[in-house]
Amino acid sequence: MARRIIAPTLAVFLGLFLMSQSIRASINNAPILLQSKLLKTVDGRFINATIIEIMRKFQRKVLDIMIGDQDQTGKRIGRYQLDGVRYGAYSLTRHEEQFKKAQDASDVRVQDLQRLLRESKRDFMAIAGEFRVVVRGSKSIVAALVEESCTRRGRPGSLLCVWAKTKEADEDVLFDSHVKTFGEFTLFCSDLLNFLNDLVNSCPRANALFVERVERWKKIRECMTAIAGEVPVVKEAAFSLYVRKNYLDNLSLAEITPDRLKSIARAYKSHAA
């Protein structure tokens, strides 16, 4: 049976489209179904609901760096301020291309761009640990999948391929030494986002587990709201984390009921006391 492609979110699609346009890279942003036989081994096992969730969150965080953080209305606001205006990293690529014509390296705008590039790279390296969770212990498998994704997208020489094969302790040094411009930064992040999109959409079993988990969590939240007046919990955020950690993957959808959550809430209150 052919594997079903799961459509990327609008934010992911838009972000990847804008980035590919800005750097004029001939990359197909539609998900590519990876064909590696390794997927039969990892899908639903090594790559499970937790890994899918980690990768999706990581995608969103990379997009936040590239096109700006979303406010409550969904509008993107860039993190990096240049000449009083806030930009995402991809937008700064255009400014960089314009400023390349400046012969004087001491030009304040050139210096500002270099400073913002360092900030962007620090922001990326700060969240890169989430990708390492996916890679750790299976570096060779992920490297092979990265290579397939990049090759099939016409990017066989991508820095991402080298980065994925590099020892974890050397990844930051490699990244910092090879990414010297916003153009290189956006290209690397575009390759990374495309790979994650390909991988997520090439793991139907893991995605099914993820969808089930989302449905269970939605029902848990509904039950928690329903019992809030009967079994009040002072630290609701802590209780929510407790339930997520200890029960989310241990209860079936049918087992998630208001009465079950009442029992869990009472036990939590007793333990917390």
User: Do strands 69-70 and 76-77 pair parallel, antiparallel, or not at all (unpaired)?
Assistant: antiparallel
- Rounded to an integer, the average pLDDT of 8-30 is 44
Contact 59, 7 (CB under 8 A): no
In percent, how much of the chain has pLDDT > 70?
Answer: 85
pLDDT over threshold 80, residue 245: yes
Number of Cβ atoms within 10 Å of the Cβ of 172: 16
Give the list of residues 6+ apart from residue 112 with CB closer than 8 angstroms, or none.
82, 83
* Tens digits of residue pLDDT in 167-203: 888 988 999 999 999 999 999 999 999 999 999 999 9
| Predicted confidence band of residue 15 (pLDDT cuts 50, 70, 90) | very low
Q: What is the pTM of this model?
A: 0.82
Spell 184-222 as b/e; 16+ CB within 10 A means b.
Answer: ebbbbbbbbbbbbbbbbbbbbbbbebbeebeebbebbee
Q: Where are the domains of the chain?
A: 10-202, 209-272
User: Do strands 80-82 and 76-77 pair parallel, antiparallel, or not at all (unpaired)?
Assistant: unpaired
Predicted pLDDT at 231 = 73
* Tens digits of residue pLDDT in 101-151: 665 556 778 889 999 999 999 999 999 887 787 777 788 899 999 999 999
Predicted pLDDT at 162 = 94
> Residue 67: what residue type?
I
Q: Which of 242, 229, 248 is nearest to 269 (CA)?
A: 242
Compute the distance between CA of residue 254 and CA of residue 178 in angstroms, rounded to an integer: 51
* Tens digits of residue pLDDT in 41-68: 999 998 999 999 999 999 999 999 999 9
